[in-house]
Chains A and B, each alone.
Chain A
């Protein structure tokens, strides 16, 4: 199993809907998880990080972490066309180093 896995999509939702992006990871020792947004032709931009089980909300974004099931998700409420991008999930590599392993990303399209 790859260290961090994401559904590559593409995921398409209508404007105003909730977009749900999922990520699973293999290292049970991972403590921190990150979501990055990457617009086409641009570099990744950190949008959320989460360390504790449960939900973390920031504006229209909610990160959800379930360590027992080894998955982390990102919910985008009231999706806007400007949310159309590739979303990358990342977690530290085994051994707790600062090096992150990135998933291959899920491409999200929000249709007006």
Chain B
């Protein structure tokens, strides 16, 4: 079946502009996660959605970052007033919630110039 999809695959933006990154989870998966991975670094947790529960936003690095998940499916991560330190690969993952294993999308490479 279809895996997690993300768009765009690459995004180049100017400092100060807003960007939106999209994630389509695996159909039927109730949990959705956003991570950030800077070059050569580990995964940095950003935000977690589970069903209709309030999202866990504990990993968002600043109030410039926000995310929403509409209809329990597609999610959008928005970064306002982008900074050069926001340059990274943004990864989305989803989970069926049974044994917690997460499946990752291909990521969006964000470059802020």
Contact = CB atoms under 8 A, between A and B. Distances in A.
Categorize the interface residue count of chain B.
20 to 34
Nearest to B105: A43
Nearest to A92: B100
B42 A104 contact: yes
B43 A88 contact: yes
A100 B31 CA distance: 12
Interface of B: 31, 33, 41-43, 45, 48, 50, 56, 89, 91, 95, 97, 99-107
Contacts of B41: 104
Nearest to B97: A98
A49 B106 contact: no
Contacts of A100: 100, 102
Contacts, number: 50
Categorize the interface residue count of chain A.
20 to 34
Contact of A99 (B48, B89, B101, B104): B48
Given A43-B107, A51-B99, 11 more contacts: A43-B105, A43-B106, A45-B104, A46-B102, A88-B43, A98-B95, A99-B48, A101-B45, A102-B42, A102-B43, A103-B42
A90 to B, nearest CB: 8
B18 to A, nearest CB: 24
18 contacts: A34-B100, A36-B104, A43-B104, A43-B107, A44-B43, A44-B104, A46-B103, A49-B99, A49-B101, A88-B43, A90-B102, A98-B31, A98-B50, A98-B100, A102-B42, A104-B41, A104-B42, A105-B42
